Amino acid sequence: MSEAPVPVIAIDGPSASGKGTVAERVARELGWHYLDSGALYRLVAVAAARAGLSLDDEGRLAETCAAMTIEFRDGKAWLDGIDASEDLRSEATGIAASKVAAYPRVRTVLLTRQRGFRRLPGLVADGRDMGSVVFPEARLKVFLTAALPVRAERRHKQLMEKGMYAKMPDVVEDLRRRDERDATRPVAPLRHYSDALFLDTSGMTADAAVATILGWWRERSEP
């Protein structure tokens, strides 16, 4: 008799929707592993910057992606043995990662690595194509979003807490451009698929969002 597949909760959504915070907390509550797929694309962007690669060179970016060594330990992200945690959090890295993620060859290389995070007792994965491409068989798929002004306020607060000055209109425009780029890319565009439950967190706390997803999971897990 074959073993039961490792359960997966896939949480997708746009930038600054709060999906990372929520997904990580859901994983902690369940005692499962957590995959921040966006961190992998950010690591590719950091590796490219360290190597002086052009973000227009899809071939070299894919090669870099295949060769780099990635570790997540001690609450940090390590790239080729060097702590890259601070680099990952920069706004420039986020913008570069969004562009890198649009390349089919880069996505193909990372697909196997992402699926490698699926281990017992389960996995909570967040990103933009977790439920549509990486884990299409996930038992629970969630599309987590929030209104653009709300997401802009959240991102602006994050930047200010990091000591990074940013004008609100610039933050709004940056998110709008990212939304457009993610929704119109030819490979795995970001969208709310019919088999994903929709969760608008505009008027919700993170606690409420976590509780909602855990409730959905309990419903899906009942025999």
Residues in binding site: 13-21
Strand partners, 185: none
201-207 CB contacts, 8 Å cutoff, 24+ apart: 201/17, 201/18, 201/22, 201/144, 201/145, 201/146, 201/150, 202/146, 202/147, 202/150, 206/18, 206/21, 206/22, 206/25
Identify the H or E element spanning 107.
helix 104-115
User: What token pair was written down for 133?
Assistant: 């491409």
Feature table: binding site for ATP: 13-21
